[in-house]
Amino acid sequence: MQADFVQRWRVRVPRYRPARECINTKAYDVVELRSDTAAKDFVQAHHYSGTYPAARFRFGLTCGSHLVGVAVFSHPCNDAVLTSVFGGEAIESVELGRFVLLDDVPGNGETWFLARCFDVLRKRDLRGVVAFSDPHPRHDVNGRVVMPGHIGVIYQAHNGHYLGRSARRTLHLLPDGSVFSARAASKVRRREVGWQYAVEQLIAAGAQPPTSTKGLRPWLQEALGALRRLQHPGNHRYAWGLHRAVKLASTLPFPKRGL
């Protein structure tokens, strides 16, 4: 897959590098990050979503003493995201939940970084990795592009198996263009851990504070109704087998830009 440029990020603003640059691997290292602190701070500062997933493995791309990229391998909300692709138990596979490099990393830095991460995961006897790319642009309430959309060019370059799109769905957008996730809404309905933060997000978006925290479902429905809705066609799905026993066979053509 050839492209003229590759996407980078800095403080959640998209940047771009020429695609055919070559990274000087002697100037960079890939390190496993043992705690969430550094990875979470980096992802929340630079990734367009501003959010951090349920991490299982975290890797950092460093240049000298500087952290210039982070890959977070996580566990999805639904085990079937993994088991439907790789079989076995969900714990035996992972999702590439967040992947972000700063704009001073040369063009082919992603694939080199991913390959080093995959080497470590393979030694942990994981069966495989899935990743999603969101092709649908998003804007804030003022029309500024906060996420231009991407089709997974680096996943194609890294020989990912294209598995088609995930299910269509309706997204609720906050004023800054980020998504108020279905998982966050579920936390509010069930008053699960983190529900207070989700409520605060909706209040910051313009919802009136709830008069009671005992019956939040009617309040949530009203708050969601005031948000912008986006009919999303589904993300592109990619997968890599890390174990010899995993056989992935996909005859679907890679998506192209604009599709």
pLDDT digit string, tens, across residues 192-242: 988 999 999 999 999 999 998 888 999 999 999 999 999 999 999 999 999
Q: Does residue 207 form part of some domain? A: yes
pLDDT, residue 81, reads: 95
The single-letter DSSP state of residue 199 is: H
Judge whether 131 lies within some domain. Answer: yes
What value does the mean pLDDT take over residues 87-115?
A: 93
Residue 247 lies in a domain: no
pLDDT higher than 80, residue 141: yes
Non-local CB neighbours of 38 within 8 Å, separated by 6+ positions:
60, 67, 70
Token pair in block for residue 169: 């769905």
Q: Residue 21 pLDDT more than 90?
A: no
Q: Is residue 257 part of a domain?
A: no
Three-class HEC string of 40-102: HHHHHHHCCCCCCCCEEEEEEEEECCEEEEEEEEECCCCCHHHHHHHCCCHHHEEEEEEEEEC
The confidence score (pLDDT) of residue 1 equals 43
Cα(105)–Cα(15) distance, integer angstroms: 11
pLDDT digits (tens, 9 = 90+) for 36-90: 999 999 999 999 888 899 899 999 999 999 999 999 999 998 999 999 999 999 9
Q: Which of 97-111, 176-190, 244-258 has the lowest mean pLDDT?
A: 244-258
pLDDT at 16 over 70: yes
Burial class (CB in 10 A: 0-12, 13-18, 19+), 111: middle
pLDDT category of residue 257 using cuts at 50, 70 and 90: confident
Give the mean pLDDT of 96-117: 93
Q: Are residues 52 and 144 in the same domain?
A: yes
CA–CA separation, 28 and 149 (whole Å) = 28
Q: Are 29 and 64 in contact (CB under 8 A)?
A: no
For residue 251, tell me if it sits in a domain: no
Instruction: Report the largest interatomic distance among the alpha carbons of the chain, rounded to a whole angstrom.
Output: 58
- What letters, b where the CB count within 10 A reaches 16 and e where it falls short, cover 137-161? ebbbeeeeebbeebbbbbbbbbebb
Asked whether the predicted pLDDT for residue 174 surpasses 50, the reply is: yes
Number of domains comprising the chain: 2
Q: 98: which strand partners?
A: 72
User: Above 80 in pLDDT, residue 250?
Assistant: no
Where is pLDDT greater, at 243 or 161? 161
| Tokens describing residue 7 | 């996407």
pLDDT at 14: 79
Per the prediction, the chain carries an average pLDDT of 91
pLDDT at 100 over 70: yes
Indicate whether 19 and 62 sit together in one domain: yes
Model pLDDT for residues 76-98, shown as the tens digit of each residue: 989 999 999 999 999 999 999 99
Whether residues 161 and 186 share a domain: the answer is no
Task: Return the number of other C-beta atoms located less than 10 Å from residue 121's C-beta.
Answer: 20
Are 50 and 154 found together in one domain? yes
Structural domain includes residue 15: yes
One domain for residues 47 and 91: yes
- Statement to judge: residues 114 and 216 lie in one domain: no
Domain that includes residue 179, residue range = 175-226
12 shares a domain with 97: yes
Q: Over 80: is that where the pLDDT of 121 sits?
A: yes
When pLDDT is cut at 50, 70 and 90, the band that residue 3 belongs to is: low
19 has pLDDT over 50: yes
